[in-house]
């Protein structure tokens, strides 16, 4: 293991220990049958997902079954997501929120095979990229707002790279992202924490939304996809009703729409077939027509989308 790898692992391990224990303790509420159903589900999804030449410690920490139960890169967002859902009037109860190495780009909510326990699953590759997406979104907005032309181009390209990575298997995402983004400046890491927070919590709440709204999980419809998006945003907004938080809610809406703009880029190229399922662009438009934000908010979302579109792959 490299020196840098060892230091990063130790730092992350210490910083997330409390949140990990917190998330792990939620599994105590499961029955023994549900627990073993969950573990065998994860084992199937994790099979063959080990990146080549990865040290055992890193594998254990980021790719093992234990890691999927309470991923160190996701745990800090699980508690806030639970709090938001509760303030919106829903009880997370025993719903596990796990990470899946078998999924790319989008999460899912599914019933487990043997017990029917409903589980929210977030793709491992997305979890690895969450912080980079937060950085990419904030940096591109900042450079657009300050008319820094060279930076606009560089950050738009970085977002396009992220869009491509989101459709790769988690092991490849891990390898490529650890090479590609090592040099990100500390300043940009600090300021983008909130952006990352919004995106991560939204992704969790969307999957939880399918469960709370009692959607037929094996056959999610177009309208239910839109409904889960609205659920996630509403839950997010429910904890603080004071109008002084509106500035923050506008920003959150921008970040979520940006996430859709990023995901949309590769959807037509690498994504699944639509099969009546809404595209990410439609999901973004649905949020905009539902919330009807102020013109400057719409303009920011559109400027972001337009910059990415310049680098869009040819479908
Ligand atoms: Zn969904």
Looking at every residue in the chain, the average pLDDT score rounds to 90
- Band the pLDDT of 297: cuts 50, 70, 90: very high
User: What are the domain boundaries of the chain?
Assistant: 3-123, 126-309
How far, in Å, from the CA of 188 to the mean position of ligand 1?
Answer: 30
Beta strands in 80-159 (DSSP E): 97-100, 108-111, 118-123
Mean pLDDT of 246-258: 94
Q: CA nearest 233: which of 187, 293, 143? A: 293
How far, in Å, from the CA of 225 to the mean position of ligand 1?
Answer: 5
Q: CA nearest 238: which of 122, 81, 109? A: 81
Q: Is the pLDDT of residue 188 over 70?
A: no
Mean pLDDT of 138-165: 93
How far, in Å, from the CA of 269 to the mean position of ligand 1?
Answer: 20
How far, in Å, from the CA of 203 to the mean position of ligand 1?
Answer: 9
Query: What pLDDT score was predicted for residue 120?
Result: 97
How far, in Å, from the CA of 219 to the mean position of ligand 1?
Answer: 10
Query: Helices 246-270 and 280-291: crossing angle, nearest 10°?
Result: 160
Q: CA nearest 264: which of 308, 300, 307, 212? A: 308
Question: Are 162 and 259 contacting, i.e. CB atoms less than 8 angstroms apart?
Answer: no
Q: Is the pLDDT of residue 271 over 70?
A: no
Q: Is the pLDDT of residue 8 over 90?
A: no
Within 8 A by CB and 6+ apart from 237, the residues are: 245, 249, 252
Q: Please provide the size of the chain in residues.
A: 315
How far, in Å, from the CA of 144 to the mean position of ligand 1?
Answer: 30
How far, in Å, from the CA of 104 to the mean position of ligand 1?
Answer: 13
Mean pLDDT of 107-123: 95
Query: What pLDDT score was predicted for residue 50?
Result: 85
Query: What pLDDT score was predicted for residue 267?
Result: 79
Mean pLDDT of 290-296: 96
How far, in Å, from the CA of 142 to the mean position of ligand 1?
Answer: 30
How far, in Å, from the CA of 170 to the mean position of ligand 1?
Answer: 20
How far, in Å, from the CA of 186 to the mean position of ligand 1?
Answer: 33
Q: Which residue has the tokens 């690895």?
A: 128
How far, in Å, from the CA of 108 to the mean position of ligand 1?
Answer: 6
How far, in Å, from the CA of 158 to the mean position of ligand 1?
Answer: 26
Q: Is the pLDDT of residue 254 over 70?
A: yes
């Amino acid at each position: 293991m490299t020196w840098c790898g060892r230091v990063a692992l130790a730092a992350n391990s210490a910083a997330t220990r409390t949140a990990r224990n917190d998330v792990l303790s939620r599994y105590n509420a499961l029955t023994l049958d549900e627990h073993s159903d969950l573990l065998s589900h994860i084992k199937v999804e994790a099979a063959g997902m080990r990146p080549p030449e990865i040290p055992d410690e890193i594998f254990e920490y980021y790719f093992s079954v234990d890691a999927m139960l309470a991923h160190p890169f996701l745990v800090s967002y699980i508690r806030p997501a639970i709090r938001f859902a509760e303030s919106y009037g829903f009880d997370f109860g025993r719903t596990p929120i796990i990470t899946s190495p078998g999924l790319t780009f989008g999460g899912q909510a599914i019933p487990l095979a043997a017990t029917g326990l409903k589980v929210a699953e977030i793709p491992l590759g997305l979890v690895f990229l969450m912080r980079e997406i937060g950085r990419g979104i904030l940096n591109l907005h900042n450079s657009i707002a300050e008319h820094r032309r060279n930076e606009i181009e560089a950050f738009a390209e970085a977002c396009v790279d992220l869009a491509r990575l989101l459709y790769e298997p988690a092991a490849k995402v891990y390898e490529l992202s650890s090479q590609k983004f090592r040099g990100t400046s500390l300043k940009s890491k600090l300021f983008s924490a909130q952006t990352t927070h919004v995106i991560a919590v939204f992704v969790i709440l969307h999957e939880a939304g399918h469960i709370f709204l009692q959607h037929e999980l094996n056959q999610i419809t177009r309208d239910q996809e839109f409904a889960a998006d609205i659920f996630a945003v509403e839950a997010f907004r429910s904890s603080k009703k004071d109008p002084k938080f509106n500035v923050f809610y506008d920003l959150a809406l921008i970040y979520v729409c940006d996430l859709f703009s990023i995901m949309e880029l590769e959807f037509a190229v690498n994504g699944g077939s639509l099969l009546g399922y809404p595209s990410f662009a439609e999901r973004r438009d649905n949020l905009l027509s539902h919330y009807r934000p102020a013109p400057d908010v719409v303009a920011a979302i559109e400027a972001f989308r337009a910059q990415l579109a310049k680098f869009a792959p040819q479908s």
